[in-house]
Amino acid sequence: MNILCVIAHPDDETILCGGTLALLASRGAAVHVACLTRGEGGELGEPPLADREHLGEVREQEMVCAVGKLGGKSLTFLGYVDPVIGPDNQLFAPEHNPTMLAGQIVNAIRQFEIDAVLTHGSNGEYGHPAHVLVHQTTLAAVTALRQEYTTQPPNHPATQPPSHRTIQPPNHCCFTPSAPTSPNTPTPASPTKMTAPIS
Q: Summarize pLDDT for 72-130 with one digit per residue, the tens.
A: 999 999 999 999 999 988 999 999 999 999 999 999 999 999 999 999 999 999 999 99
Segment (H or E) for 35? strand 30-37
According to the model, what pLDDT value does residue 183 have?
38
pLDDT class of 140 with cuts at 50, 70, 90: very high
Report the candidate in 76, 45, 73 with the shortest Cα–Cα distance to residue 58.
Answer: 45
Is the pLDDT confidence value at 163 over 50? no
CB 22, CB 175: distance < 8 Å: yes
Query: What are 39-70's pLDDT values in tens digits?
Result: 999 999 899 989 999 999 999 999 999 999 99
Give the whole-number percent of the chain exceeding pLDDT 90: 69
Q: Where are the domains positioned within the chain? A: 2-171
Query: Within 10 Å of residue 29's Cβ, how many Cβ atoms?
Result: 18
According to the model, what pLDDT value does residue 49 have?
87
CATH architecture entry for 2-171: 3-Layer(aba) Sandwich (3.40)
Gap between the Cα atoms of 11 and 163, Å rounded: 31
According to the model, what pLDDT value does residue 146 have?
84
CB 122, CB 106: distance < 8 Å: no
Report the candidate in 67, 77, 82, 52 with the shortest Cα–Cα distance to residue 22.
Answer: 67
